[in-house]
Structure 1
Amino acid sequence: MSQSNNKKGILLVNLGSPNSTSVEDVKNYLDEFLMDEKVIDYRWIFRALLVQGIILKTRPKKSAEAYKTVWTDEGSPLIVISKHLQNKLQEIVDVPVGLGMRYGEPSIQTGIQELVDKGVTEITLFPLYPQYAMSTTETVIDKAEEVRKKFFPDIKINYVEPFYNRDIYIKALAESIKEKLPADFDLLQFSYHGVPERHIYKTDPTKTCSIDNCCLKDDLPSHKYCYRHQCFKVTELVREQLGLPKEKVMVTFQSRLGKDKWIEPYTDATLEGLGKKGIKKLAIVCPAFVSDCLETLEEISVEGKEIFLHGGGERFDYIPCLNEDANWVNVVKVLSEEKLAEF
């Protein structure tokens, strides 16, 4: 590897995971995650009262039990898959590849430090989220900039932008779905992680978004920052790529927290009623995630399946995330190298 290549590096950043399934580790993880003002965007005092005064009193034990159902011999599925992605990417690029998590370990600071130790001075940071959201892409960039200014002031960082509408990503996602989609399915459900409605308005610098009235329109200035629009766009582009009729595809949003209004339609409520509408054979995919995790392996493929079958469904096929798919690894390579070339 040449000296010039050594000066550049790639840092993959995913959400994160508890260090173990112990209640204490899960509590520490949830505290860091939920106290992020980009996740629960209340004033600090109210956020602390909600998170530390209420949620952390009961949720860690329940979440720890859920994590135990998906934990592997290697550890947390999200961390394990992210490390495999890192290794596979390293095999096909000429610069060092690091890994960091927004919450938990390895941290963003740890990931940057490992690259710096290899002589890297220019980092392309890749938030592993296809769509833009305040609680994903935005908080990763904010944290990375905070870490850079405090610990690595001489390091330059640029960022891979949300890639929800990039052809190379859509083709990789569509191909992954096609490989696992049963021939006789009744409906393909795209379940995306939800966000509170107010997040959509907060992240819209144009202040023109009206959620339901503009998500399905084309080329509005608010769409660059509208998570809900970007989810619908991914679905439509993949549907076209697969050649499916519109009535065979739908969009829902999962993982609500608290009593605030979140973007709709809700995944759990939808699953409950599909059987009564004649949907007996359901396939479901979760394209807000590139790595399988608690929200896909437990919330959807276990809890979601139970809801669907209890409501009259007969067959439930969960389609895994892109994970370590070769086409996906190539997507990460191409998008990363585009940004590396900008230094």
Structure 2
Amino acid sequence: MKGVLLINLGSPESTKTKDVRTYLDEFLMDERVIDIPYWKRFLLIKGIILNVRPKKSAAAYKKIWWKEGSPLVVISERFAKKVADNTEIPVALAMRYGTMTIKKGFDELAKKGVDEILIVPLYPHFAMSSTETVLVKAEEVRKQFYPNIKTTEIQSFYNEPRYIKAMSDNIQNHLNGFEYDHILFSYHGIPERHILKTDPTKNHCKIDGSCCEKPSKAHETCYRHQCFETTKEIAKTLNLKEGTYSNSFQSRLLKDPWLKPYTDFEFDRIPKEEGKRKMAVVTPAFVSDCLETLEEIAMEGEKQFFAGGGTDYKHIPCMNDNDDWVQVMNTWIDEWANN
């Protein structure tokens, strides 16, 4: 019997500092998130970051928290329910970090008699700190607890036509007459070294502005290339004029070089240097609104843009649980189930 396990990032249990600390501890100690030797990671996270960041992050979570709980979790639950309601195949939801564990997702499906699972990391683009860590953890759980269950993973869908169409329609619907002179595609940031680490050829990725345009097997796991391709496809679908849109990367951590340009720098640069004062911001790396979209982009981003001279600002929500996105997921599930 086949089943589907949808997996998203995760969230603290509450906005209490202790719960945020517990969540950050698990998240940041993941070797695929902060990929430095264990002893250095331990000293950095346990000795420095967890003594400072939880209080600040808790304050940020309080700004976006819903009465029902964490927006990311609530939205993911709504999405999973809609997907489940539109298929006869059992569907479960799990989070990579937090108490909604991948193990619980396996348990739920196994109790229903499932012996073959489609693993769906809810990330359009491949990165070692998102897709890879989900797949590695899922395989660890399978081997330890359910060795007789067969698993298959969905491929990164950054340029899948139905995903692009759903994303484009979502953007168009939320623009709804908003007059902009620039659309910023802001993607989750990752360290540049992650791009080099995930390059299977070990020689293609240069992060020099040209390697993303040259065909290569490296593109199968290159987050930077995949982000640029998503923007290109959406721009093509929406008939965006060259020069009216650009890419950036948000949420840096530590002092290592991360993918550029940085979103917060762009909020200041675009109105000052390009004279563009009416901007819409899209976050295609996320399928569900979360702290990074609701607080960092929708709230802080607006403040930064206005401080830089902007006059009109619109954050485009993620696809969340909209029916088009649900239909796309159900189509993928049906195709897998009937293969």
User: In structure 1, what is the equivalent of residue 279 of structure 2?
Assistant: 282
User: In structure 2, what is the equivalent of residue 326 of structure 1?
Assistant: 323
The alignment status of 1:261 with 2:229, answered yes or no, reads: no
User: In structure 2, what is the equivalent of residue 201 of structure 1?
Assistant: 196
Q: Secondary structure at the match of 2:208?
A: helix
Q: Which runs of 5+ in 2 are unaligned?
A: none
Structure 1 residue 311, shift from structure 2 partner: 0.5
The alignment status of 1:191 with 2:190, answered yes or no, reads: no
> Contact 2:212/2:219 (CA < 8 Å) preserved in 1?
no
1:67-124 CA distance string (max 9 Å, x none): 0111101100000000000000011111110000000021100011001111111110
Q: Give the TM-score normalised by structure 1.
A: 0.96
The alignment status of 1:166 with 2:163, answered yes or no, reads: no
1:38-95 CA distance string (max 9 Å, x none): 0000111011011111100010000001001111011000000000000000111111
CA RMSD of aligned residues (A): 1.0
User: In structure 1, what is the equivalent of residue 59 of structure 2?
Assistant: 65
The alignment status of 1:138 with 2:132, answered yes or no, reads: yes
The alignment status of 1:214 with 2:210, answered yes or no, reads: yes
User: In structure 1, what is the equivalent of residue 310 of structure 2?
Assistant: 313
Find the aligned partners of 1:15 and 1:263 in 2 and give their Cα distance. Answer: 20
User: In structure 1, what is the equivalent of residue 47 of structure 2?
Assistant: 53
Structure 1 residue 218, shift from structure 2 partner: 4.8
> Contact 1:215/1:232 (CA < 8 Å) preserved in 2?
no
Structure 1 residue 228, shift from structure 2 partner: 0.4
> Contact 2:5/2:105 (CA < 8 Å) preserved in 1?
yes
Of the structure 1 ranges 246-255 and 331-340, higher mean CA displacement relative to structure 2 is found in 331-340
> Contact 1:215/1:228 (CA < 8 Å) preserved in 2?
no
User: In structure 1, what is the equivalent of residue 241 of structure 2?
Assistant: 245
Find the aligned partners of 1:75 and 1:99 in 2 and give their Cα distance. Answer: 16
Find the aligned partners of 1:183 and 1:58 in 2 and give their Cα distance. Answer: 39
Q: Which runs of 5+ in 1 are unaligned?
A: 1-6
User: In structure 1, what is the equivalent of residue 29 of structure 2?
Assistant: 35
Find the aligned partners of 2:20 and 2:41 in 1 and give their Cα distance. Answer: 18
Structure 1 residue 216, shift from structure 2 partner: 4.1
Q: Secondary structure at the match of 2:213?
A: coil
Structure 1 residue 325, shift from structure 2 partner: 1.1
- 2:283 corresponds to which letter in structure 1? C
Structure 1 residue 212, shift from structure 2 partner: 2.5
Q: Secondary structure at the match of 2:159?
A: coil
Structure 1 residue 154, shift from structure 2 partner: 1.0
Q: Secondary structure at the match of 1:137?
A: helix
User: In structure 1, what is the equivalent of residue 122 of structure 2?
Assistant: 128
Structure 1 residue 183, shift from structure 2 partner: 4.3
1:265-306 CA distance string (max 9 Å, x none): 100011112221211100001010000000000001111110
Q: Secondary structure at the match of 2:243?
A: helix
Which of 89, 93, 96 lines up with 1:95 in the alignment?
89
Find the aligned partners of 2:245 and 2:317 in 1 and give their Cα distance. Answer: 17
Which of 113, 128, 141 lines up with 1:119 in the alignment?
113
Q: Secondary structure at the match of 1:338?
A: helix
User: In structure 2, what is the equivalent of residue 147 of structure 1?
Assistant: 141
User: In structure 2, what is the equivalent of residue 3 of structure 1?
Assistant: none
> Contact 1:126/1:336 (CA < 8 Å) preserved in 2?
no
Find the aligned partners of 1:113 and 1:313 in 2 and give their Cα distance. Answer: 50
Q: Secondary structure at the match of 1:74?
A: coil
User: In structure 2, what is the equivalent of residue 298 of structure 1?
Assistant: 295
Find the aligned partners of 1:322 and 1:25 in 2 and give their Cα distance. Answer: 28
Structure 1 residue 341, shift from structure 2 partner: 3.7
Q: Secondary structure at the match of 1:210?
A: coil
- 2:58 corresponds to which letter in structure 1? A
User: In structure 2, what is the equivalent of residue 4 of structure 1?
Assistant: none
> Contact 2:96/2:102 (CA < 8 Å) preserved in 1?
yes
Q: Give the TM-score normalised by structure 2.
A: 0.97
Moved runs in structure 1, 4+ residues, more than 4 A?
Answer: none
Q: How many residues align?
A: 336
Find the aligned partners of 2:91 and 2:250 in 1 and give their Cα distance. Answer: 32
